Amino acid sequence: MSVENEVKVRFPGDAEQARARIEARGYRLIQPRTLESDCVFDRGGELRRSEQLLRLRRQGDRFLLTYKGPPRAGRHKNREEIEFEVSDGDALAAVLERLGYDVAFRYQKYRTKFRAESEPGIITIDETPMGVFLELEGPPDWLDATAARLGLSPSEYLTASYAKLYQEYRRARPGLTNDMVFDDSAD
């Protein structure tokens, strides 16, 4: 078990501009651009109402199951996180469905990860169907120092989940699908 501390920032440029800014500040690539396909499971909205999350993530042939507890109030998103790899994501999804959980939301992003040597946090570039986001994850002091180093202000911090951000995005664009995916054929 661990505690996740993070913030997201909507990046005004494209992924290449984000990468150039990150690398110019001394951060190095630790995970190349990878498609992540996530399914959020819920049982009648029970988890969403209590601000908990149960997510099955697919990265290529790899599956990760993540539980996230309710966030604690503050400038950064801070919450319990339990995450582990599963060998058969399709079987696990079937078990969850048999237990009454349904896929409540699907979302995708192309994620690229960066880190600086001897620093405790990670910076990601998330390319989503609603734009590019930077996500900083690490100790609270590191989040603020790194944001400043990247030229970002605490006033730009977003602590909402991608599900909530996408709901807001859809309000201004009523024709969009319920899921934040690049196309309907994606898994």
Domain annotation for the chain: domains and CATH numbers: 2-171 (2.40.320.10)
pLDDT-derived band at 1, boundaries 50, 70, 90: low
Structure tokens given for 68: 């996230």
Mean pLDDT to the nearest integer, 99-117: 97
Encode 52-70: b = buried (16+ Cβ within 10 Å), e = exposed: bbbbbbbeeeebbbbbbbe
pLDDT-derived band at 145, boundaries 50, 70, 90: very high
User: Across-strand partners of 11?
Assistant: 132
pLDDT digits (tens, 9 = 90+) for 88-103: 999 999 999 999 999 9
pLDDT of 121 reads 97
Cβ-contact 58, 187 below 8 angstroms: yes
Residue 49 belongs to what H/E stretch?
Answer: helix 46-49
Q: Which residue has the higher pLDDT, 1 or 31?
A: 31
Is residue 185 over pLDDT 60? no
* Cα-Cα-Cα-Cα dihedral sign, residues 78, 142, 113, 185: positive
